[in-house]
Structure 1
Amino acid sequence: VYTGCNVENSSFGLTCCAERVALFKAVSEGEGDFLKLAVVGQENTSVLPCGACRQVLFEFTPDITIITLQNNRIKSYSLKELLPEGFRLQGKRKKDKG
């Protein structure tokens, strides 16, 4: 289990969402196979990954399941439901060894 938090910045484009923080932390520690991502927020809010997070997740792990709490009910989505036409360069992403 890897956790993350939003790292806010005055320039919103430089903010790093919790989903990417957790993913990058796991990758930096040698992980490469991801099955599920749980996303939670403040009480009574519905939280799903933003477009940037969806694209990054797609490049690392297109078959991941996203789990979230919506209206006090646990819901799960495939990443393909949330990003049906994700962009990928030719070939599969390879982890850097370094």
Structure 2
Amino acid sequence: MPRETPSPIDLPGPALLNGSGIAWATTVIAVATLVLLLTNAVALRDWIDEQRPSPVQAYAATAADGWVAFTDTIGLGAPRAAMHGQWKRAEAARFAGQPPTDDARQ
């Protein structure tokens, strides 16, 4: 059936990426990694502390502790600390008359 007026659905869309999708994905992953490394150093430290003890783990734990101290000193850890504090308050919240949890008693 010949078409006198083309349907807008059949029109090709503009190219969204000028280049490789792999390059775009790599860039996004690298930026996300750097942002998390700068703003969530506590998660890195906690992950390292969960690993099996070894000389490499001990060295990495020392380095991670230093990194946490550095990011806290320059203020990059403040947003995470604020969110963590809000989470802990919400976690401890109880309805009226409800007893506190075991965690709150300690």
Task: Identify, as 1 or 2, the structure richer in strand.
Answer: 1
In the superposition, the TM-score normalised over structure 1's length comes to 0.29
Instruction: State the structure with more CA Rg.
Output: 2
Q: Quick check: which one's helix share is greater?
A: 2
TM-score scaled by structure 2?
0.28
